[in-house]
Structure 1
């Protein structure tokens, strides 16, 4: 009499893969929640208003929660990157820089951007009043953007050393676009090209983190 085939136990999901999974979903979550608001909030215009403005007004709590939840997922992803990249070039600094970007999003949630340029509805047109919260929002955001752009270059250096030239080029291009988009929005707020470039930079950096996390989780 033949014996029934034994079923092999399911392979448990490691903590590293769970942490990297946070990196896979962080970007899509942030972008979807932000765009859902951008297309439904009265008076919001993607060509004029940065996504940070969504944290203002009666429904501003949605974007604030979006900042915090995405930040926590990004910090978790940074821990996963530390495990996945060790040992080797970038194993220390790439996770630190990605984690700093996550921390900056918590700072952006604590210190919302100043209402301006007619948003939220009822706000006068023009740059509006500059408050301490608005200044700190820009400051923590700037630090976070610089850290994330630097993370792209650090990871690119490792990928180039490993002979993964296409990945290295992609990482460098993403870091450059992300940095350029921040410079554009910081210097040309309210200008259509600067805001659209900023949207492109945001989508690009989150796509990069998602693809990097997915790639490392499969290694």
Structure 2
């Protein structure tokens, strides 16, 4: 594959978290009764014009798959990391196809029944939340201590935020205030920063091969 197409995929991968975060911030601010520090990102799919958040998941999933493909071509990531990004990207697409059940009292007055579709959403969300940090850990390189430390810190902070998020959801009754929404947004920011930094790192001319497909580094 050409150098130009590989760099295009890297740019798409870097754009993924930017588009995703900007979309849920603007969408959340425009929804009456929605509190970004309390309500989940997925709950936006239950608000008026919920298709916007569903599309947001789908777009981020596709752009993450583009990112994974670019890293595969550059042999910039171990097989474990590549597979983790494929899992994360595919999971995001599934999140857009299987909306969440009402959670934490949003939308107001909606029944809190658990459905099969909502269960799929919750299960896949957990997988995605874990897959991204695993990819960050797999990006560590003994030849670059600085990048290794950055990737490990990102992975650890993301997992800690995910743990805090699920603990907040489990410990909060519907309608009661919590910081679940804030905790959920933190890993998207951490991983987004890592994804952009990784794309920039690999985009350095001597790191991007102009030869044909390169196998994933083992």
TM-score (norm 2): 0.84
Deviation by residue 1:57-104 (Cα, 9 ceiling, x = unmatched): 331000000110111011011000111125xxx432222111110100
1:61 aligns with 2:51: yes
Partner residue, 1:214? 200
Q: Tell me, which stretches of 5 or more residues in structure 2 are unaligned?
A: 208-218
Aligned to 1:178: 158
- C-alpha distance in 2 between matches for 1:22 and 1:198: 23
Higher relative contact order, chain-length normalized (CA < 8 Å, sep 6+) = 2
Q: For 2:117 and 2:62, how far apart are their aligned partners in 1?
A: 21
Residues 16 and 217 in structure 1, CA contact (< 8 A), matched pair in contact too:
no
Cα distance between partner residues in 1 of 2:86 and 2:55: 18
The runs of 4+ residues in structure 1 deviating greater than 6 Å are none
Which of 92, 98, 101 does residue 111 from structure 1 map onto? 98
Residues matched between the structures, number: 198
Match of 2:211 in 1: none
1:15 deviation in Å? 1.3
Query: Is 1:52 paired with 2:42?
Result: yes
State the superposition RMSD in angstroms.
1.8
Unpaired segments ≥5 residues, structure 1: 1-11
Q: 1:146 to 1:116 in 2, by over 3 A?
A: closer
Q: Which residue of 1 aligns with 2:214?
A: none
CA contact (8 A) 1:47 1:196 kept: yes
Q: Return the index of the structure with the highest Cα Rg.
A: 1
Please, what TM-score do these two structures have when normalized by structure 1?
0.84
Alignment of 1:1-219 (within 5 A): 14-85=4-75, 90-123=77-110, 128-156=112-140, 159=141, 161-162=142-143, 164-189=144-169, 190=172, 192-218=178-204, 219=207
